[in-house]
Structure 1
Amino acid sequence: MTTHPEYILTLSCLDQRGIVHRVSGFLADHGCNIIDSAQFGDAQSRLFFMRVHFSAEDASVSDSSLRAEFAVLAATMQMNAQLNDAHKKPKMMLMVSKIGHCLNDLLFRYRSGLLPVEIPAIVSNHTEFYQLAASYNIPFHHLPLVAGASPDDKRKQEQKILDLVATHDIDLVVLARYMQILSPELCDAFRGRAINIHHSFLPSFKGAKPYAQAHERGVKLIGATAHFVTGDLDEGPIIEQDVERVDHAMDPETLTAIGRDVECVVLARAVKWFVEHRILLNGSKTVVFK
């Protein structure tokens, strides 16, 4: 049985008449069959967003000509467009400190085939999870950064992170509870391709022991937020959020356990959607085609 190449096209541009017609017409004219398609017009930003999963069924149309000729259409309509191989596994680098539940969850999903990625590297400023990385046969890079490190030491440590990203041609960086504030320069370098997870108590419960603070305030909902990393701490475009109800009978340890479960699920969803090219940036927000 012959299988055809499959692609995922994502695009955004100023909303105007005929976008869907022009895109679908282009694909039909080039021997492509649409498998699924989703679109959204944002009345506030006046931008149009589209994701199309299609197969290229005309063997006479090469990959290079398909890309080159669509680039002409994209330029004509001033589109921000990406054409991705649907079967290519993105390369993901995981970063972690001393709390490993999100790291462990993502590695399990990767090993189980639930998360179609390659993981060339795990980076940490501590050594707690080098054995876990070894059990998955993934290189572990210990890049220490002591408390109160000088700006120069921080720059050197972050340069090593950038070197790893370049060496392995990383598509996505995931801060799986990496408890270091990234410099504005590193945030800029990772724009649109770095995802962080945090408890949804921010900014209400800042600092250490947020679940203990929440317990003291008698919260009834706890949750987590996955977002793109920006220079504004924990204020990047939100990708996914979820919550769980709690009550007065639960101690801080129980809240922590529930909260960590939510963090794992929320981060895994965000990573999967990124890998499947379902997330498009819309200013300070995101459009997520589920």
Structure 2
Amino acid sequence: MANGKNALVTGSTSGIGLGIAKALAQAGYNVMFNGLVRNDEERNAAEKVAQDVAKEYGVKTLFNPANMMKGEEIRAMIAQAEQTWGSVDVLVNNAGIQFVSPIEDFPEDKWDAIIAINLTAAFHTSKAVWKGMKARGWGRIINITSAHALQASEFKSAYVASKHGVTGLTKTLALEGATCGITCNAICPGYVLTPLVEGQIPDQMKAHNMSREEVIQKVMLYKHAIKDFVTVEQIGALVVFLASDAAKLITGVSIPVDGGWSAQ
């Protein structure tokens, strides 16, 4: 049953974002889905994801293909949600990309794209929902960052810089929203078992001449004290909690869900 509140999750047609969208729908939120599509086939597939969630959980859903590198498309997406449902009560900034390279070889276009999608897009979305949240005296902004928002790793200069930037944005919005019922927090996952990560395992097995289990334990989860992947359901459950009234005094924090990586 819908709970009267509306959520928007960027990058939500697969992986972590889809898990978050499903968790919010299960909790009764109407959900606007977002994902970049390159053709009609991809758009149809993305719209079907949203429709299937609506049917499964008995809520309303929308899909908008706004490009997270284009502020005008982001603003139009949020305007669509507000015009259709009257409000965006929960904003989850999840969309993100990654590229790995030594700094001396790091392509400038990759740097620009990562900063735009991982950091600048969160500014555009937050600014666009802010006026409505402030007028209603209630809002939740939840940023999905990474263990790399708290720790660095070599060869990930743009990704680490973007995620550290979102940490600063999170704190700033928390302070600005404190007097008008808006909270802003970040969730910092370690390695999450998504289809994307699952697909990397065979390549890692070949590259390291290791078994599947060796790759998982010694390569992917090397920095996890608890040698388990994070699940999308765990991230979704935390988003639902942070969106609830029980979390009204939690703001400006970055919560690691990383198996103890950041404790080291």
Shorter-chain TM-score tier: 0.3 to 0.5
Structure richer in strand, relative to its length: 1
TM-score (norm 2): 0.47
Higher CA-based Rg? 1
Answer 1 or 2: higher relative contact order, Cα 8 Å, separation at least 6. 2
